[in-house]
Structure formats: structure tokens, C-alpha cells
Amino acid sequence: MYELKTLLPQFDITLPTCMYELRNVSLSAGATPGPAAHQIQCSGAAEIESNNTKAGTCALDLDILGRQIQHLLKNQDTTAVLERQEKVLKQLEELKAQLGKIRASLGVRVCGKTVQHTTAYQNGGLKEVPLHDVVVNGHPNFIPYALLALKNAWRDLYTIDVKTFTHSTMADIGPAAREFEANLAKVSMNPALPKINVTLIWKNCEHTEMISSPTMYVPIYGEVNIIRYLGRVGPTEYRYENSPLCNEIDAVLDICYQLLRCTTHKSQVAMVRLLDKRLQQQQYFGGDQMSVADIGVYSSLIRMPAITDKDLTPALLAWRKRAKLITQI
């Protein structure tokens, strides 16, 4: 075959670490799969001329094929295969249990009997059903710090179990995302509390999005709207639909949404001034108690490194100190 020259020798290509690696089992010339590897010559089926100018192709030899199969089986790591098989079987059992819950929640007849549910009518008359696991797709450059803030704020009220994975479109998630994962793992979880499972996938996507339904792909775009969703299904202390400050909290979250999309420092400072007007002399944006509005503002300010202490008013600086004690970020 033709030999191709390296076009970009000065650049190092970082291969993704989230893909399977295939073992080299070739016995051809130049391959060294192990100490017992040897080159198998084709005898009688090809002739190589003394001047090395012309060579024939090796015909199928059953003896050579048999030795290749024996060599492959001999060098195959059976222990690793068994461990991988056990892991796959365990994942299949978990998937079967999840599908059973989904089918039960949809009212599908199982074995001729319809699964019955006991539901409670709380939260302003809304019908409460068991929550499905949610998936959040996010880019490492736009880390959803709200997940960590909510996990810390709800430590004694509600459990958010976040598991992170890396999509094949990301070669490296960077040090900030790895630190975020480590901080998520440090938060202790109480198994006695209600829980929602969140799968965070680092992906080369434009917007942070959440998929809440396993049966249909209807994403919820934006970290602020994800906060709204979790606030509605989380602990009752953070559900604000029946609060007299409901419109105020939504207005603060809308400002956060606009702040994250500002492209100039001047427009960012203008949004910060709006937040200061909303805060006024209150302890928090939701009054005297922490709310999802504070989570949204705190996470948004972390994601805007261009906004420094000089851009924040004394009221916002004092609020940030109080919020930091709860969010622990």
C-alpha cells in the first residue's frame, strides 16, 4: 500500500477515553500481541522471488487458521470477559426493573392484570406520581452548578443522586468539570429521604437540556428552566406555586436566563442591577427563606467570571455570603 506522510506532526491528538479499546490479536508480520507471538510463513502457496520485486498472495491454509484460533483463545483474558459479562447482566437487570416501573406507571397490563397505584393529591391539587430518572446534557464550558447547589441546599430535605458520564463527542471535559464531579461525590446522601436520580452527560451540545420523560424526547432547555422543574418536584419547602412571591421568583429566574445570554460586560452589569432592585432589603430573593430563585442567581453568577465584586452592590455581596453558607460552592 502507499505510505502517507504525517500532515500535522506538531499537534498531539488526544483520543477519547470513553470508548472501548480493542485488543490487537493479529499474527501478521510486525504485530507483537505477546511473547509467544511468531510470524507464520506461507509455504507452498506463494513464492517470493529473490530480487523481492514480486510476491504472491497466501492461500487459505487450514493449519495456519487453526493455529491462529488456538493462539487467540490461549491469549484471551477469560477473567476480564467474565467480569464484563457480569457487569452487562447486572445492567440488564437494572434496565428491566426501570422498564417495569415505566410500564407500571403508564398503566400497561402485566400478566393480564392492571397495576394499581396509590397516588396522593397534594401540592395545590396536582396529582403526584413516582418520578422517572432525568437526563441532563451539558457542555463542560457551561457547568450546571445549580445541581450541586440544590444537592447541598436540600441535603436534609431531599436527595438528588447525580451520576456523570462523558459522551464520545468530548475528548476531555477539563479541570473545572472534573472538580465539579468531585464536589458532587462529596455530598452525603440520606437513603431515608425522597430521591430523584439525575444522569449528567458531558456532551458537545449548544444548550444545557434535560429530558424528563423516557418515552418521548421533549427536552427542557436552559439551566433556569431545569431549576424550575426540580423546584416543582423537590421538597415542599422549595415549591413556590402557592407562594405570594410566585411571580417575583419567576421574574428573578427570567433575569438569570437573560444574564446567561448577555454577550457584553455592559449588558451583564445591567442585568445585575435588575437583580439588585429585586433583592432590595430582603435576606433572599424569595423573602426571608432560601428559594430556587437564589439557586438560579448564585449559579448564574458563578458562570459569569467577568462579573467581579466591583460590579455587585453591597446588598448583593451580603446576599452572596449568606447563600454560600447554604449552597457550599
**pLDDT recorded at residue 52:** 44
Enumerate long-range contacts of 170-174, CB under 8 Å, 24 or more apart. 170/16, 170/18, 170/140, 170/202, 170/203, 170/204, 171/14, 171/15, 171/16, 172/14, 173/140, 173/202, 174/140, 174/141
Cβ contact 197:190 at 8 Å: no
> Mean pLDDT, 10 residues at a time, over the chain (329 residues)?
73 71 59 45 44 48 75 67 86 88 64 39 50 88 95 93 93 93 93 91 92 79 94 90 90 95 94 93 89 95 93 95 93
**pLDDT recorded at residue 37:** 43
**pLDDT recorded at residue 249:** 94
Write the CB contacts of 103 (distance below 8 Å, at least 6 apart in sequence).
110, 115
Cβ contact 242:249 at 8 Å: no
Q: What is the rounded distance in angstroms from the CA atom of residue 150 to the CA atom of residue 297?
A: 12
Q: What is the pTM of this model?
A: 0.66
**Residue 251 CB burial class (10 angstroms; 0-12, 13-18, ≥19):** middle
Please name every residue paired with 208 in a beta bridge, in sequence order, or none if there are none.
Answer: none
Q: Which of helix, strand or coil describes residue 72? A: helix
Cβ contact 275:255 at 8 Å: yes
Measured between alpha carbons, how far is residue 4 from residues 7, 11, 31, 162 in Å?
A: 9, 17, 20, 46
**pLDDT recorded at residue 264:** 94
- The DSSP element (H or E) to which 270 belongs, if any, is helix 265-279
Question: What is the distance, to the nearest Å, from the Cα of residue 328 to the centroid of all Cα atoms in its chain?
Answer: 21
180's grid cell: 465539579
Cβ contact 321:269 at 8 Å: no
**pLDDT recorded at residue 143:** 95
**pLDDT recorded at residue 38:** 43
Q: What share of the chain is helix, strand, coil (3-state, %, to 5)?
A: 40, 10, 45
Measured between alpha carbons, how far is residue 303 from residues 131, 140, 276 in Å?
A: 29, 11, 18
**Angle, CA of 21, 22 and 26, to the nearest 5°:** 150
Q: What is the rounded distance in angstroms from the CA atom of residue 113 to the CA atom of residue 102?
A: 16
Cβ contact 133:98 at 8 Å: yes
324's grid cell: 454560600
